[in-house]
Amino acid sequence: MIIIAFHTTADAFGFEEIAKRCGLEGRLGTIPRSISAGCGFAWLVEQGSRERLQRFIVQQGLECEGIYEQ
Condensed to tens digits (0 to 9), the pLDDT of residues 5-39 reads 999 999 999 999 999 999 999 999 999 988 988 89
pLDDT of residue 38: 82
Write the DSSP assignment of 19-59 as a string of letters. HHHHT-S-EEEEPPTT---TTSEEEEESS--HHHHHHHHHH
pLDDT, position 37? 80
pLDDT > 90: what percent of the chain? 81
Domain assignments of the chain as residue spans, ordered by start: 2-69
Q: In what order do the strands lie in the sheet with 41-45?
A: 27-30, 41-45, 2-5, 66-69
Residue 43, pLDDT score? 97
The model's pTM is 0.90
Half-sphere exposure of 1 (CA within 13 A, CB side): 15
Predicted local confidence at residue 49, as pLDDT: 85
